[in-house]
């Protein structure tokens, strides 16, 4: 997968290739269609929020297509378009 990664606070994001993650039990994987970088992400990038866990991929408001599911998730979920809010629940 391609990802924009923050490796150092205050540095530009870097486009990198990473292995596709595999979903664990009860998880899904999305092919991301759109991802918003919000003000919180910019605070992290600019160094306004201390001690981020680097490297990190900013963006937590996502829309995409389910392309893989982990154990315990119905295969019928594959192909669905979903949105991921910044606040979620189990």
To the nearest whole percent, how much of the chain has pLDDT over 70?
A: 96
The radius of gyration of the chain from alpha carbons, rounded to an integer in Å, stands at 15
Going from the C-alpha of 80 to that of each of 10, 65, 68, the distances in angstroms are 36, 5, 10
Domains in the chain, please, with CATH?
2-84 (3.90.180.10)
Res. 85: pLDDT tops 90: no
Q: ∠ CA(14), CA(20), CA(25), 5° rounding?
A: 130
What values do phi and psi take at 6, rounded to 5? -95, 115
Q: Say how many C-beta atoms besides its own lie within 10 A of residue 87's C-beta.
A: 5
Q: Are 59 and 35 in contact (CB under 8 A)?
A: yes
pLDDT tens digit string along 51-61?
899 999 999 88
pLDDT tens digit string along 2-38?
999 999 999 999 999 999 999 999 999 999 999 988 8
Least confident of 36-45, 68-77, 80-89: 80-89
């Amino acid at each position: 997968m391609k990802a924009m990664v923050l490796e150092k606070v205050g540095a530009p994001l870097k486009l990198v290739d990473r292995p596709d993650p595999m979903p664990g039990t009860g998880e899904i994987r999305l092919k991301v269609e759109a991802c918003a970088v919000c003000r919180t992400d910019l605070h992290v990038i600019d160094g306004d929020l201390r001690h981020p866990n680097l490297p990190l991929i900013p963006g937590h408001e996502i829309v995409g297509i389910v392309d893989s599911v982990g154990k315990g998730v119905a295969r019928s979920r594959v192909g669905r378009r979903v949105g991921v809010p910044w606040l979620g629940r189990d």
